[in-house]
Chain A
Amino acid sequence: MAETASTGGDLHLQSLTKQFGSFVAVDDLSLTIPQGSFFALLGPSGCGKTTTLRMVAGLEEPTAGRILIGADDITDTKPYRRPVNTVFQNYALFPHLDIFENVAFGLRRRGSKNVKQQVDDVLELIELGHLARRKPTQLSGGQQQRVALARAIVNHPSVLLLDEPLGALDLKLRRQMQLELKRIQTEVGLTFVHVTHDQEEAMTMADTIAVMNNGRIEQLGDPASLYENPVTTFVANFLGQSNLVRARVTSRSGEHLTVDVQGTTFTMPRARCTSESDDIWMGVRPEKIQVNATAAGANTILGTVTDTSYIGVSTQYLVQLGFGQELTVVRQNDGAPILRPGQEVYLSWEPAHTFGLDARQDAKAGVEREEGELVPAGDAS
């Protein structure tokens, strides 16, 4: 156990590819996951998350590519020789063993000493010490989930893989377990690779998020930079909501970029535009848009409120621009009067909150989750 605590435990995936027949489930995937980090693999259903994890765990053979932990190439290592443990999507607790023996399983296989002490400690950590002699079927979903976690972390693996560990839990328990998982990760200091398709879950828990789509990584970074600076329309839409407006670059001067949207001029930092082409999608997050009664300064455009939905902590508006496109605007309910449909308003936003994406990308990529936005946790698959 102690052998993994030091340096050189980063997980490297190099050009990892997995094909099932002619179907490419994971496509030339390369990334490095620093030791001790909480890493989230986020993506829609079927994008290859589970397959990636199973290759790291050794339960699936890659079609091509290498997997390394530190300098050790484990691509061809048997699963039971890898310093990797998994929390399975449906827990896979051994039904014929009680909780204690489930947790002790890995320790016993490796002939570890002080099995009792270690198991008791980890059961204490997950606050289930009093249920040690129950069978898995006699536990609630949340308790089973924690046992599955304990069964893995008691082995102090170099990398802990979690495949939608919270997928089967209801919203409230899920939020609670997210915090608990984060607490345990901080406490034990292991590398967690957490698979989820719940963006909120990924953002609240992870140090680094990789957004995956169709077997590839679209973007990788810390939650804030992914959210503030998406580099593809898929990421812009999948991670929160985005307004994408077609724009033409009119000048690139120094640090700034000037674009034209149907006659209105906007500026944005040049560094926030990922496209070198003149046709771009200009993007802005709904909560970054200011709503004013009068035109004030640059980056302003006139529109008409067409829809108002009151959410409690905030209100979401649809505002139609002169050329027909609707923008989503979210305003905190800080006492300002609620706007009524039909009202004309001026929308403006900071140039620094604007981002530019290549116009050849599909503006609708990754938006399937529209109705899921308000209740993001219910759609476990």
Chain B
Amino acid sequence: MTATVHVPGGSMPAAPVEPRKRRASKVPYLLLLPGVAWLLVFFVAPMIFLASQSLQTGSIEQGYALTWHIGTYGDALSAFHSQLFRSFGYAATATVLGLLVGYPLAYTIAFKAGRWKNVLLVLVIAPFFTSFLIRTLAWQTILSSDGPVVGFFRATHLMDLLRSLHLVAGNDLLSTPFAVVMGLTYNFLPFMVLPLYASLERIDIRLLEAGGDLYARPFTAFRKVTWPLSLPGVVAGTLLTFIPAAGDYINSKLLGNTSTTMIGQVIDGQFLRVLDYPTAAALSFTLMLAILVIVAVYVRRAGTEELV
């Protein structure tokens, strides 16, 4: 993301140093100071406190002491590993679905929308204008058991298909894994579409035409030209979907049932209702580390460092 500064090859003998008074400037540091301080105090420090909390023992009445009790992690994981894996499973599914839905959408806006481009972009972000809790509640109405959507699913045997995939249990859509994944996909779809659109829009249309000339089949042209050029958008979009989806619990709470509980819900409950801070902190920290590892591996494999 930083502009490459042209540096002549190292083979040359060291050049006489430019007498450019580089004014070892304090300006950038002054500009950064308030923001960086804010993030250090209210983002980094809390993480340290969180890590510390996860290694403490005690109770809320008697207070906690740092005892380096690693065992909390083991206990927490053995109690809640299924919620953790479920969270990643749901998040990954929602990410893939989001890509499948979002890519054609972004592609259409970028290349086929002509002068309607801006209107369609507004329509993509328009859902944001209404509080997402309200919209998630609207899904309860849409998916309710006597509604047209459920009727359609029953009539077309889509319901049977979902049942065979264990995405629904009975003859309803609400309070099922299907509803949760659908809700996650829905909620983070704009986060998928906007980066995709940004990277597609940057593609020179002449490249696509050249691709069309070189590869007779449009799909080959897509695979060889469009897709590789849109990869930065794909990486950004999938990360912006996966990360918040993995920690989300609004959808699983409002659209799911007790067997769709996600890890966020557990953390929330342990912190705010059970008041077992070490376990909650251990789970929170585990979630954080797991996501960092996944993101790091993913970004390395995708070969894109341009995230910020």
Contact = CB atoms under 8 A, between A and B. Distances in A.
Count chain A CB atoms within 10 A of each CB in B12, B15, B19 and give the residue with the most.
B15
A21 B12 CA distance: 9
Q: Is the interface of B mostly helix, strand, loop or mixed?
A: loop
Interface in A8-38: 19-23
A28 to B, nearest CB: 14
Contact of B13 (A19, A20, A22, A23): A22
B216 interface: no
Contacts of B6: 20-21
Interface residues of A, number: 7
B18 interface: yes
B20 A19 contact: no
Contacts of B20: 61
Nearest to A64: B19
A258 interface: no
B114 interface: no
A274 interface: no
Interface residues of B, number: 11
A63 interface: yes
A278 B70 CA distance: 92
A23 B15 CA distance: 8
A22 B8 contact: yes
B7 interface: yes
A256 to B, nearest CB: 48
A63 B12 contact: no
B16 interface: yes
B18 A23 contact: no
Contacts of A22: 8, 12-15
A21 B19 contact: no
Contacts of B19: 61, 63
Interface in A314-328: none
A23 B20 CA distance: 15
16 contacts: A19-B18, A21-B6, A21-B7, A21-B8, A21-B12, A21-B15, A22-B8, A22-B12, A22-B13, A22-B14, A22-B15, A23-B8, A23-B15, A61-B19, A63-B16, A63-B19
Given A22-B13, A23-B8, 20 more contacts: A19-B15, A19-B16, A19-B18, A20-B6, A20-B8, A21-B6, A21-B7, A21-B8, A21-B12, A21-B15, A22-B8, A22-B14, A22-B15, A23-B15, A61-B18, A61-B19, A61-B20, A63-B16, A63-B18, A63-B19
Q: List the 5 closest pairs (A to B, CB-CB), nearest first.
A: A22-B15, A21-B8, A22-B12, A21-B15, A22-B8
